[in-house]
Structure 1
Amino acid sequence: MAQASGMDGRQGTLPLAGAHNSQRDAKRLRELRELLHKAAHAYYVLDRPIMADEIYDQLYQELLDLERQYPEWITPDSPTQRVGGAPSQEFLSIAHPTPLYSLDNAFDPADMQSWQDRWQKLWPGELPADLYICELKIDGLALNLFYEQGMLVWAATRGDGVTGEEITANVRTIRTIPLRLQTSQPPAQVEIRGEAFLPQPVFLQLNQERQERGEPAFANPRNAAAGTLRQLDPRIVAQRRLDFFAYGVGSGLDLTSQQETLKLLSQWGFRTNSHSQVCPDLSAVQKYYQIWDKKRQELPYGTDGVAVKINALAMQAELGFTQKSPRWAIAWKFPAETGVATVVGVTVQVGRTGVLTPVAALTPVRLAGTQVTRATLHNAQRIDELNLHIGDRVVVRKAGDIIPEVVQVLGELRPGDAPAYYLPSHCPECGEPVVQTEQEAATRCVNRRCPGIVREQINHWASRDALDIRGLGGKAAQKLVSLGWVTTVADLYDLTEARLASLERWGAKSAANLITALDQSRQQSWPRVLYGLGVRHVGAGTAALLATHFPSATAVQAASLEELCAIVGIGPEIAQAVQVWFADAENQALLARLQQAGLQLSHDPVAPTTGTLSGKILVLTGSLPNLTRPQAKALIERAGGKVGASVTSRTAYVVVGAEAGAKLERAVALGVPLLSEAELVALAGEG
């Protein structure tokens, strides 16, 4: 007999070959287990997913169906018998006092009806009017928080449901997780369950910053949240502004319903999702599901389905658990935001800093309500990781407003004659050799006269956050560059209405409108001009910050590396990029031409009489990682605030650093909001 050995030594018997279709099914079962084990290890332990969630769900369901058909084949090491993956070895392991279970998945009304039929067989009693409660299933990382006498003692990831990774220092940086429960009569011990997540705007900004540094983007907010909480430096976690929704407790509280649990969690100071709803039956559940399937893109956080739970805790206790899931709850997943398409070709886009971005041309696939025919491949390193061939069947992902990307190649479906794809060694726009340094994953064209670079620089210069030049960009920029009329943004201000009107399909009105828009751009502020110059790593916020400290291009050019780094929010990488750009002779010539054209390359900064901290009293305690006390005090005062000597009921915030003392304890006792250095900088509008 063929044997499949379990992790604890027990064995499940697989059939002899030739018994009907069982040999084929047994082979498939082994394949599925191996695939799912690899995928789970990559996802939970390595934080490097190798398989889209929807593909995993399909394979898992196939394995589950096989094991239901052949229950004698089930072994203890089957993925269906596990709650989750092993914790990372980089953190200490900690045992959960009560296990954390994962939810089974439903994908359509028939699945929901089957789930209801299963649990109703075990419940002979009457059904309450408030039978179900629906909650949005947040796309993040499950956490277990342990409190003693109301104080947070430790925090851990779900891990395998029995043992998790102890990440208390990182969790303490999440401001929606209270360090002390807001109650005068806390339980002696209590576990709080919830989901840590990265808000969508923060996620998009984080990915933009990573791409500007030539680093691979996070695949989705959940991976970003997981990667953040596994950082060994809590300061990095604090800067990424994670959020948290609490949704449950471990055990031991005298509560009657999940609805009451959510209310109590809110009273204790936790953030709970405001969109939960009690439903009397599956028909009402389906209406809730349909509403949020349409509205979920409006939310500032990711959600991949609806968690449907029996509301009464007594019923939950009676129904209990299977080995891996509660019988009284299920996750009704939203339609897939991934799909499978065929790669029919690859084009390479050249960005304003010369970065080459490969983009796969695809057979049409519908994702998140739109038809997708193109998806980014990020860079040469990502292409190598994917082992991409033209003609491959690939998994494509699109979450929210994120650009579609290829996340997996289905190598087993590759045609035999499919050629491998490699990023070109020469720029597709200008034909010059491209370069790649060891410091970054990006491949670049370094020819500053490259038409692709110039075109994207014009698009950036004309963008809304920069000079906001209506009618310039896209096809107009392409035309002006292809004719050779514009080789730098300064050439735009040499254009005349008559010359533009001579272009095919332009006409007098279009030409006049563009000249008017160019004239208006001369009045845009110095911070906007600085952003429009396209200095590497300098976004709109950083440009405004630089302009606050250096009121002219001349002042920026004269600034030393030390002076640049002294600004809160300007790190060595940004400072060096700024210094290199302003020291370049051609860039200095560009600035001279822009000044001659009437652009605003300076301003007179006025000290604000009001600001984001106007009228507020802040108290400092402990040693901040980057700011000295005088620097922090000046930062607060620039934003209109005042620094207090002691914590009182009038204190708006307490800024907490390392080795904080009695002021922190006083702040916690009074319920005064706490800020990290990074949050202070952001709140003051200087980061």
Structure 2
Amino acid sequence: GENITQNIMTIRSIPLKIKAPEHFPSILEVRGEVIMSKISFLELNKQRENNGEALFANPRNAAAGSLRQLDPSITASRKLDAFFYGAGNFQELPVDSHSELISIYNDRGLKIFNKSKKCKTLEEIEEFYSLMGKQRDSLPFEIDGLVIKVNSKKLQNELGFISRSPRWAIAYKFEAIEATTHINEVINQVGRTGAITPVAVLEPVEVGGVIVSRATLHNYEEISRKDIRIKDNVFIRRAGDVIPEVVKPILNLRTGKELIIEIPEFCPSCSSKLKKIEGEVVLRCESIHCEAQLVERISHFVSKDAMNILSLGSALIEGLVENKKLFSVLDIYKLQFDDLFALPRMGDKLASKLIESISASKNTTFSRFIFALGIRFVGKKTSEILSERFSDIHSLSQASKETLQNIEEIGERIAESVRAFFDDSINMKLIDEMFLLGVRPENPAVKKISNILEDKSFVFTGTLNTLTRTKAEDLVKKNGGRVLSSVSGNLDYLVCGEEAGSKLEKARKHDVKIISEKEFLNLINYRG
């Protein structure tokens, strides 16, 4: 979501203007990738080393960091390059194939990778894959594989897309670069969902230009299958040239002093007994008091694609959890200046910036809010799909497993996970309390009629005569109000229909204002 236009304009291989031939579309969405060459990467790290600055791990990270600079002159000094490979929309372009599109780019001064090849058979693809694998190290920049695309534009349109990628393109990765090293010990990490991941602590070794000192062992079934042991000499690689993993032990180097990796019984963070859920290979800590999970959950909640509270980094989160200032994501919105000064190196300026960032995050989009909740199997793209199908969190929370599964790209596993999340009353209470603290996820698909109900919260109970429950809740949202799922002392209105249930008694106990359906309709000037 960052605007990097000024930085992009400093890259010499990206033309500021192109000459358009006849029949060229008025708007063309060109897609490409910014890279840093191997030579530029080495020069940059040498310069940073001389300046006493931290070195970049690889050209990919260096290119990304360079594009996010606030000062475009810094980006310009980093010698970035760019290649163009596709179009977001080229319906109007007079082309019938991807190769024609790339040819037009080349003619118009948009830089392309000139080693691409049009293949007619699988054998030709395999031959080209083998050739590029041999030439990989001689290229001026790093690559980790090929992308194979259907050439015909007509067939591309027929094949369409799935949630993360087109059906007409597939990555064909090269074999990962491997290295040998030694396992010194194995530690267990706790993820935000309680998953326990065993991690090998290694003798540091260079793999593909990156120093690796830790590598994932995935799970204990994988450890058993590969027969990996502490003090083993092992092959490691960076999966997808990114995540280090242990491939296998070097059996002929064993001395007999290697140790079996014991399966843990208790959580390394909170000492709760670990469980293995049927049908899963991972061990899990299911304690709601697990500090490690809490840190990971909060880190996810504040991340860039979620609530985007970037001022709240991992070190601050750990400090606030250790100092008993954060017990859940809800407590982020209860933080005061005094809470922050318990942390080291916390001054007025940093504290003000953090409080402002937290306050700004309250106004977010519905899809970001769904993603921030950390529902298992619900990633960024799935959150976007759910926000397009449901108007707000209340309607999503009421959706049955069958309704969810009827949505394209939502399978049984995701549907069950979503349903389980909203069936947990603790989660629903957390969401309601966040709304009461001012968190307002807006769905662009829901158009407001007015703000007559702004800052007002509603719960409906009983059978309505004029409106359906869904329609009534929709009217609350369209008039600027909020729909909650339960009654509390912070609720503004309980709208009662016929045969009102236990919510009516609870509202009376909390002195909540109780109104009829007719009074509700008058409140919003509803005329049908």
Normalising by the smaller structure, the TM-score range is: 0.5 to 0.7
* Deviation of 1:471 (Å): 2.0
Q: Counterpart of 2:320 in structure 1: which amino acid?
A: L
1:243-642 alignment runs, 5 A limit: 265=119, 290-292=137-139, 294-297=140-143, 301=147, 337-601=177-441, 603=443, 605=445
After superposition, the CA RMSD in angstroms is 3.3
Structure showing greater radius of gyration is 1
Compared CA separation, residues 541 and 417, structure 1 to 2 (3 A): same
**1:673 corresponds to which residue?**
none
* Deviation of 1:417 (Å): 2.5
1:498, 1:511 within 8 Å by CA — same for their partners in 2?
Answer: no
1:389, 1:421 within 8 Å by CA — same for their partners in 2?
Answer: yes
CA distance in 2, matches of 1:584, 1:595: 17
List, as ranges, runs of 4+ consecutive aligned residues in structure 1 with deviation greater than 6 Å. 270-278
CA distance in 1, matches of 2:175, 2:210: 13
Secondary structure, aligned partner of 2:443: coil
Compared CA separation, residues 267 and 412, structure 1 to 2 (3 A): closer
1:360, 1:377 within 8 Å by CA — same for their partners in 2?
Answer: yes
Compared CA separation, residues 403 and 289, structure 1 to 2 (3 A): closer
CA distance in 1, matches of 2:131, 2:232: 44
Q: TM-score, normalised by structure 2?
A: 0.54
Q: Counterpart of 2:378 in structure 1: which amino acid?
A: V
2:190, 2:196 within 8 Å by CA — same for their partners in 1?
Answer: yes
CA distance in 2, matches of 1:343, 1:275: 34
CA distance in 1, matches of 2:128, 2:236: 32
**1:135 corresponds to which residue?**
none
Q: Give 5+ residue unaligned stretches, structure 2.
A: 1-98, 100-115, 149-173, 448-528
Compared CA separation, residues 501 and 606, structure 1 to 2 (3 A): same
Which structure's relative contact order is higher, taking Cα pairs within 8 Å and 6+ residues apart?
A: 1
Q: Counterpart of 2:200 in structure 1: which amino acid?
A: A
State the Cα deviation string for residues 620-649 of structure 1 (Å, max 9, x = none): xxxxxxxxxxxxxxxxxxxxxxxxxxxxxx
Compared CA separation, residues 277 and 590, structure 1 to 2 (3 A): closer
**2:11 corresponds to which residue?**
none
Percent identity between the two aligned chains: 33
CA distance in 2, matches of 1:336, 1:568: 34
2:228, 2:248 within 8 Å by CA — same for their partners in 1?
Answer: no
Q: Counterpart of 1:446 in structure 2: which amino acid?
A: E
2:189, 2:197 within 8 Å by CA — same for their partners in 1?
Answer: yes
2:294, 2:328 within 8 Å by CA — same for their partners in 1?
Answer: yes
**1:10 corresponds to which residue?**
none
CA distance in 2, matches of 1:263, 1:342: 41
Compared CA separation, residues 276 and 429, structure 1 to 2 (3 A): closer
Secondary structure, aligned partner of 1:441: coil
State the Cα deviation string for residues 376-409 of structure 1 (Å, max 9, x = none): 0001111111222211111101144421000101
Secondary structure, aligned partner of 1:404: strand
Stretch of structure 1 that moved more, 355-364 or 558-567: 558-567
Q: TM-score, normalised by structure 1?
A: 0.42
State the Cα deviation string for residues 510-555 of structure 1 (Å, max 9, x = none): 2111111111111111110110000001001111111111111111
Compared CA separation, residues 301 and 266, structure 1 to 2 (3 A): closer
* Deviation of 1:362 (Å): 0.3
Secondary structure, aligned partner of 1:385: helix
Compared CA separation, residues 411 and 272, structure 1 to 2 (3 A): closer
CA distance in 2, matches of 1:419, 1:519: 51
1:14-163 alignment runs, 5 A limit: none
Secondary structure, aligned partner of 1:365: strand
Compared CA separation, residues 491 and 471, structure 1 to 2 (3 A): same
* Deviation of 1:298 (Å): 6.9
Q: Give 5+ residue unaligned stretches, structure 1.
A: 1-244, 246-261, 279-284, 303-333, 608-687
* Deviation of 1:568 (Å): 0.8
Secondary structure, aligned partner of 1:347: strand
State the Cα deviation string for residues 656-676 of structure 1 (Å, max 9, x = none): xxxxxxxxxxxxxxxxxxxxx
State the Cα deviation string for residues 541-592 of structure 1 (Å, max 9, x = none): 1111111111111111111111111111111111111011011011011101
CA distance in 2, matches of 1:399, 1:263: 26
* Deviation of 1:426 (Å): 0.3
State the Cα deviation string for residues 453-506 of structure 1 (Å, max 9, x = none): 110001111111111111223211111111221111010011012321342212
State the Cα deviation string for residues 1-26 of structure 1 (Å, max 9, x = none): xxxxxxxxxxxxxxxxxxxxxxxxxx
Compared CA separation, residues 462 and 266, structure 1 to 2 (3 A): same
